[in-house]
């Protein structure tokens, strides 16, 4: 994996550079015009935020159940990626909303629950950094609750009346928008996998360093 990392990162970089070309050639949404093109990175970032929160929750549950250090490494890496992609969603969403809805933010279910999901991931990271001994278990419990929030974020637009477009928008994208959307989604997914791999490697190296220090003290 380590040998494939740099070529894969180059591929992801090229895809990231080419995505705007595809997006520029893609169709506009009828009622929103130019600003609708934020969709191509906003929605995949939202998908990755939810995916990452689920991975973090499952890995944390495994850590609580089996005390597996590998699961803990996956959990902490996923929490950082949830925070990163959540931040992207929270920043690009209002930029889109200002033009489409005329407001930066609305405390409606989808936006509020996404914000809460992002806050849980940031809380996990603060707990892991500052809560001292036992922070691994406390953080893991927090991450499990964070992942329970994910299905509610997803279905919120279908259950409650919201300003946000429904979940049917992405599967029913017209051909002019489908290509750029799935290309952008594939680009961000590849980037997500690479960032996750690099972050897990960092945690593994930290664990090795801790073992070396312990061996040194002995």
Of 67-75, 82-90, 114-122, 138-146: span binding other proteins (CB under 8 A):
82-90
DSSP string of 9-43, one letter each residue: HHHHHHHHHHHHHHHHHSPPBTTTBGGGGGHHHHH
Nearer to other proteins, 3 or 216 (CB): 216
| 179 touches 75 (CB < 8 A) | no
Nearer to other proteins, 33 or 151 (CB): 33
Query: Which residues touch 25 (CB under 8 Å, ≥6 apart)?
Result: 180
Nearest to 182 by CA among 18, 40, 9, 49: 40
Residue of 4, 10, 18, 33 that binds other proteins (CB under 8 A) = 33
Let me know the angle formed at the C-alpha of 173 by 56 and 83, rounded to the nearest 5 degrees.
20
Question: How many chain residues interact with other proteins (CB under 8 A)?
Answer: 36
Distance CA 14, CA 135 (A): 39
Q: Which of residues 136-195 bind other proteins (CB under 8 A)?
A: 191, 195
Residue of 8, 11, 15, 35 that binds other proteins (CB under 8 A) = 35
The yes or no reply on residue 34 touching other proteins (CB under 8 A) is yes
Q: Which residues pair with 33 in a beta bridge?
A: 29
CB of 138 to other proteins, least distance (A): 23
CA distances from 158 to 83, 153, 163 (A): 25, 10, 11
The yes or no reply on residue 95 touching other proteins (CB under 8 A) is yes
The yes or no reply on residue 99 touching other proteins (CB under 8 A) is yes
Residue of 8, 15, 20, 179 that binds other proteins (CB under 8 A) = 20
The yes or no reply on residue 217 touching other proteins (CB under 8 A) is no
Distance CA 55, CA 82 (A): 9
Nearer to other proteins, 42 or 73 (CB): 42
Residues that bind other proteins (CB under 8 A): 16, 20, 33-35, 37-38, 41-42, 45, 80, 84, 87-88, 91-92, 95-96, 98-99, 101-103, 191, 195, 198-199, 201-202, 205-206, 208-209, 212-213, 216
């Amino acid at each position: 994996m380590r040998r494939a990392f740099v070529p894969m990162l180059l591929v992801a970089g090229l895809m990231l550079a080419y995505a705007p070309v595809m997006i520029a050639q893609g169709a506009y949404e009828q009622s929103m015009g130019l600003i609708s093109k934020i969709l191509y990175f906003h929605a995949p970032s939202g998908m990755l935020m939810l995916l990452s929160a689920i991975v973090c929750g499952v890995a944390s549950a495994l850590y609580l159940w089996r005390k597996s250090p590998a699961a803990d490494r996956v959990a902490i890496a996923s929490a950082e990626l949830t925070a990163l992609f959540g931040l992207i969603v929270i920043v690009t969403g209002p930029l889109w909303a200002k033009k489409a809805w005329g407001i930066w933010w609305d405390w409606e279910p989808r936006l509020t629950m996404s914000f809460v999901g992002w806050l849980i991931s940031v809380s996990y990271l603060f707990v892991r950094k500052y809560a001292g001994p036992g922070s691994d278990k406390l953080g893991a419990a927090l991450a499990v609750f964070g992942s329970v929030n994910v299905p509610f974020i997803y279905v919120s637009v279908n259950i409650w009346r919201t300003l946000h477009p429904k979940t049917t928008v992405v599967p029913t994208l017209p051909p002019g928008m489908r290509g750029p959307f799935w290309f952008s989604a594939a680009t961000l997914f590849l980037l997500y996998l690479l960032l996750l791999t690099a972050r897990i490697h960092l945690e593994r190296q930290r664990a090795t360093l801790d073992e070396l220090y312990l061996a040194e003290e002995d």
